Amino acid sequence: MANPSEEKTEKMAEKISKEKIEEKAKKKEEVKDEKESKEKTEKETKAISEEAEIVAPCGIYCGACAIYKGEIKETAVRLGDIVTAYGFRESSRFIPELEVYPQFIHVLTWFAGLTCVGCRAGGGNPNCFVRQCCAEKKIETCSQCGGFPCLQLNDLQRTRPGIIENLNEIKEKGVENWAKEQKKKVEDGFSYADALIDKFKR
């Protein structure tokens, strides 16, 4: 006949063993969920990089930029060809306003070589605080930051009008969908250059 004390000890040991097995299974499930969540995040980040390579961290769509599209370069080359063909170098000898013609050609040559491969590919300002900040926080755009919009971004909007609105749209729609919309706008004729020109003409 079993001792009641021994039976109680055995039951307690079984209970403890069962609890340990359940706890181990729970931890295993948590590790699995964490791994799946990490893989999902990495997959989404990769998809963002592939789908929206020309969306800058600050919310600018590089595809609408006159530098990225080569419009400034083409315009400078065209203007250089025209003034050369019209012989303005020779005219600069007797036209006071053209005394700085050599400097003008020097600046025009710089513009004629102006290119940009897009922010994510290393173009733009190498010391851009927005790009550096997003890289440090391992986020694609400022819209993913807990401190958005920050004071620095508000200051940047003075020279980059519309970026906070763009970032709010990116936050709402997702960077891939927003990028597709911007691509369609560019195909329909939109460009930042025209928008900025209109702003300065007012």
Give the DSSP per-residue string, 92-106: TTT-GGGTTHHHHHH
Which neighbouring-strand residues pair with 55?
Answer: 61
Angle at which helices 163-173 and 175-187 pack, to 10 degrees? Answer: 120
Rounded-to-integer distance, Cα 45 and Cα 80, Å: 44
Instruction: State the DSSP string of 88-148.
Output: HHHHTTT-GGGTTHHHHHHHHHHHHT-----GGGT-S-TT-HHHHHHHHHT-SSGGG-TTP
pLDDT tens track for 46-105: 545 455 789 999 999 999 999 999 999 999 999 999 999 999 999 888 999 999 999 999
Minimum mean pLDDT among 20-24, 82-86, 152-156: which range? Answer: 20-24
**pLDDT tens digit sequence for 30-46:** 777 777 666 655 554 45
What is the reported pTM?
0.68
**With contact defined as beta carbons under 8 Å apart, do 57 and 131 qualify?**
yes
Determine the Cα–Cα distance for residues 140 and 153; give it in Å rounded to an integer: 15
**Cα–Cα distance, 106 to 165 (Å, whole number):** 38
| More confident site: 20 or 156 | 156
Alpha-carbon distance 68 to 54, whole Å?
A: 10
- Residue range 159-185, pLDDT digits in tens: 888 899 999 999 999 999 999 999 999
- pLDDT at position 156 over 90: no
Q: Is the pLDDT of residue 113 over 70?
A: yes
Q: Where in the chain are the domains?
A: 54-70+115-201
| Mean pLDDT, rounded, of the chain | 84
